[in-house]
Chain A
Amino acid sequence: MDPRFIRNFSIVAHIDHGKSTLSDQLLLQTGTITQREFKDQLLDDLDVERERGITVKARAVTIKYVHHGQPYELNFVDTPGHVDFHYEVSRSLAACEGALLLVDAFQGVQAQTVANAYAALEANLAIIPCLNKIDLPIVRTDEVLEEMRTVLGFNPEEVLRTSGRSGIGIDDVLEAIVERVPAPTGLAADPLRALIFDSKYDNYRGVVIYVRVKDGVVRKGSKIRLMKKGTHHEVLEVGQFRPMNTPCDELGPGQVGYIVAGIKNLSLVHIGDTVTEASRPATEPLPGYKPPQQMVFCGMFPIEATDFEKLREELGRLALNDASFSFIPETSDALGFGFRCGFLGMLHMEIIQQRLEKEADIDLIQTAPNVTYELLKKDQTVVTVDNPQEVSWDGTTEEFREPIVKVTFIVPADCIGPIMQLCSDRRGTYKSTEYLGPARAQLIYELPLAEVIYDMHDKLKSITRGYGTMDYELIGFRAADLVKLDILVKQNKVDALASIVHRSLAERRGRALCKRLKEEISKHMFEVPIQAAIGARVIARETISAMRKNVTAKCYGGDITRKRKLLQKQKEGKKRLKQFGEVEIPQKAFLAVLDIGDE
């Protein structure tokens, strides 16, 4: 395939700005898929994604398109839309020369529009801006075009009008891709260099490597070398995504497709690595990617200790296809054996947790998520800690550092005050304000990640009546006056309920947490005191009074079975409870720390 007739592009957009619908239209109108094959949001093939209407993993598809009589091959590399998966966006972009940037004609420029546009610019992509959902009953065309000019620097003339729903402007989009996106460069004669932008484990064929060829050619029978580990493999099949995996003879410069090389172990295949020829290796690998940064950690413990091995298998299975998820064994005095799991963000965490519950039948206790901390030791070494348990207060620590993120908010102008208040309550540092137009503004703050991940997004949505958006990126670690807040239930310290909080907020959090736990833990036959403490100092206390009345009235006309089952159910209802000494704590309580509010 002559690279002059290849175009590689992505679509980036803020979540819900119509990316999936427009993608589907591109495939339908070019005949890449037929109406019959068409499934809603074809590219999102994971259940959880479909349920939530968001794309999590990058996917690709090859489109055949004829422009002025000349056949073209357009490779569309899909990207995830959520801030948690920013890392995957950059992966997709590196495989392309151009990007469509969709902006909802009513909602206008949003936080992830900005973040994604910058990511595309940084990757040196040609950007085709589109005003999408143009057929909505209410649109704000002029204002949104103005926002696109102010914030992103696009001339209104270069912005396409599109609608995935009704198919408006799809021809313009295809034309623009051919005319505005540069053709890939690279010579077929050079040694092979192909960027691995994703991979997938197939039970029958082993690892399927998703590649974008930069230089050279790969074909069936080629001997390849994965540059990072230097392993050699023989190519059993190469193919394209049309949209199902379809074998082809070879993949040349500029082409996007997959390689099957009988690799049984996904850990050999590094996303961002370069595939080259075994006999004639390239001297330099492609730039690759920054490794994904896990921002959020939590413990996952099986309620039944016997499920530990099963949980390990399930986590391993999930990690196979998700390089950005990690887990290592962890022991808790309170919860026994489990795993400490790392995620890109809260959404990522929820998705993994939902898959575990859906696909594996394991009752889990999940502890409240926390961020990674750095401890600067007296000997000037820096230790990274992603578990509150590992924080020691033995005097060897000189400085306690927490991760800081730069947060970009785009909010209605009349909400600036309340958002600034929120940020200052959350220990934020104000950076700048920029008006996108008379009614909307972009606010930039630096905030501790810990203050952002739990509920910042919900707070933002409620303050702005749904109109505000946010995006964040990690900018580093900073020293802070942090303390470990312990929770004692009936005088027993429950390690899994401990959290790291800023000293100035400790008392308020402690009180709120005790109160929430009081709501979550049901009455026992005895009094249950709940205390919050920093070190040996108790800073808050609540008491759950003892159960006073519990008699199920009737014996159901002799239906003893029913009566017994009701009583047993009291027991079964406790499936998600964990026994601590004599106190039973429900699973939900371990997440209580998340929604203790801002009283």
Chain B
Amino acid sequence: MRSRPGGRAVSIPYVPWEPVDPLGVPRAAYVHVPFCVHRCGYCDFTVVAGRDDLISAYLDALACELSRLESPQPVETLFLGGGTPTHLPERSLERLLELVREWFPLSSGGEFSVEANPVGLSPAKLGLLADAGVNRVSLGVQSFDTQSLATLERDHSPELARQTVEAVRDRFPECSVDLIFGVPGQSLVTWQTTLETAIALGPTHLSAYGLTFEKGTAFWGRRLKGTLASIPDELERSQYELAMELLSACGFGQYELSNYARAGHESRHNATYWANGPYFAAGPGAARYVKGTRETNHRSTTTWIKSTLAGRTALSSQEKLSLEDRARETLMLGLRRTAGVFFEAFQKQTGFALEEIAKPLLARDWLRDCLAIDEERIALTREGRCVADSVVAALWE
């Protein structure tokens, strides 16, 4: 692949991109399960901790929301995220699985993912998941370092994390491990150890996210007060670069900014997001994209339950994008994929020429090192991946 003058040549995998139809019937579904044992200091997802009394009302509301689909919607990928879906007691978990399978029957060969945390993930619950057809479990391990786990306010030990990864790996065809770098106090070496430990456990998929400080979280407040500091840019960058190098050297190809997989084990569900394809969603705070309209459910679990049970919609936002905005989003998401965005597929999918939509990026001299361009596509270079948000933000300037 040719990079622009002055740009750095990097190896960029070639994965062809089939255009998707955002107006077509979704073939992916996301269901949000907000329950957790406690809320970790960095978490800004829709989560309720210590409110297990709401579980039964949640399931009633979910049934109610799903029934608005009118008829079961067959999907190719189904994703239960959270929160901690596996925090539900066995009987409730069973009911959840039944509900989602009823409304989102999985086509043969489909991907059925569930997010889980090590604590409380009993063999019995794993059995329930397997029996329900779950074939991919994504584990919130975050770190194998005691100190980092404590900083992140995770409730499991490195040992329990190890055992859980092994148990999942032995029982499910796809096992993914989530890790976080950029943790205050985390050195390059402890991060390397975490990565190596994860690799050695033999999952099929790894996600490595940089810690972000989100408004409204405890971490945000602590950083404002000065009791918690983000790690230096340079160190965080080194950690990210280490992840890219180490994982690919060990056979986990980077196919997205934060995601790595053994060949053929990439997450198919997330691929829909990155292709800017349509998907169903249910549950508090869940986001759907159906018929060209983006909707997000209310982020308060209690509000969502109340409105939904009362027969009202519980949306916090709804927007129908203009064709051009849709194209811009397609580029914003597509650049997250290491393979980049293809001129031909982009034009087919959005009706816009890629070079037109990407103009604000191409016009900037300082983005020269960040973009790699050839006859077929535009992709982020390694430099570009490190500062992907700044690159993409230029689209709106």
Residues of chain A touching chain B, judged by Cβ–Cβ distance below 8 Å, are 523-526, 547-564, 567-568, 570-571, 582
Contact = CB atoms under 8 A, between A and B. Distances in A.
Choose among A553, A555, A561, A562 the residue with the greatest number of B CB atoms under 10 Å from its CB.
A553
Given A557-B286, A559-B287, A550 B386 contact: yes
Contact of A564 (B212, B274, B329): B329
A18 B384 CA distance: 62
Contacts, number: 107
Interface string B301-338: 00000000000000001010000000001001100100
Contacts of A557: 30, 32, 45, 79, 81, 286-287
26 contacts: A548-B237, A549-B210, A549-B233, A549-B234, A549-B240, A550-B387, A550-B388, A551-B240, A551-B389, A552-B212, A553-B209, A553-B211, A553-B212, A557-B30, A557-B81, A557-B286, A557-B287, A560-B276, A560-B287, A560-B329, A560-B333, A561-B296, A561-B317, A562-B287, A570-B393, A571-B397
B212 A561 contact: no
A587 B270 CA distance: 40
B66 to A, nearest CB: 17
Contacts of B286: 557-558
B294 A560 contact: yes
Task: List 10 A-B pairs, minimum CB-CB distance, nearest first.
Answer: A553-B209, A559-B287, A549-B237, A548-B233, A548-B237, A525-B366, A550-B389, A550-B387, A549-B236, A570-B393
A443 to B, nearest CB: 38
Given A547-B390, A558-B288, A567-B332, 17 more contacts: A523-B233, A525-B366, A525-B367, A526-B366, A547-B387, A548-B233, A548-B386, A550-B390, A554-B258, A555-B333, A557-B32, A557-B45, A558-B281, A559-B296, A563-B332, A567-B395, A568-B393
Candidate in B385, B389, B392 with the most chain A CB atoms within 10 angstroms = B389
B199 to A, nearest CB: 20
Contacts of B395: 567
A358 B374 CA distance: 52
Nearest to B317: A561
Nearest to B233: A548
Interface string B225-264: 0000000011011001000000000000000011000000
Contacts of A555: 270, 273-274, 333, 336
Nearest to B388: A551
A556 B287 contact: yes
B296 A562 contact: yes
Contacts of A564: 329, 332
A564 B322 CA distance: 14
Interface of B: 30, 32, 45, 79, 81, 180, 209-212, 233-234, 236-237, 240, 257-258, 270, 273-274, 276, 279, 281, 285-289, 294, 296, 317, 319, 329, 332-333, 336, 365-367, 370, 385-390, 392-393, 395-397
A567 B393 contact: yes
Chain A facing B: main interface SS: loop
Nearest to A559: B287
Contacts of B388: 550-551
B393 A553 contact: no
A582 B368 CA distance: 14
B396 A571 contact: yes
Contacts of A570: 389-390, 393
Contacts of A556: 45, 287
Contacts of B294: 560-561
- The winner among A547, A555, A582 for most chain B CB atoms within 10 A is A555
B349 to A, nearest CB: 15
B141 to A, nearest CB: 15
B233 A551 contact: no
Contacts of A558: 30, 273, 279, 281, 286-289
Contact of B389 (A548, A552, A561, A562): A552
Contacts of B258: 551, 553-554
A551 B279 contact: no
Contacts of A552: 212, 389
Contacts of A551: 210, 240, 257-258, 385-389
Name, among B287, B289, B319, the residue most crowded by chain A CB atoms within 10 Å (CB to CB): B287
Contacts of A524: 366
Nearest to A561: B294
A570 B333 CA distance: 17
Contacts of A526: 366
A353 to B, nearest CB: 25
Nearest to A553: B209
A81 to B, nearest CB: 35
Contact of B233 (A547, A559, A563): A547
A559 B281 CA distance: 10
Given A557-B81, A562-B287, A582 B386 contact: no
A217 B389 CA distance: 74
Contacts of A547: 233, 387, 390
A525 B397 CA distance: 15
A72 B101 CA distance: 91
Contacts of A523: 233
B287 A561 contact: yes
A111 B270 CA distance: 70
Nearest to B392: A567
B273 A582 contact: no
Contacts of A561: 287, 294, 296, 317, 319
B44 to A, nearest CB: 9
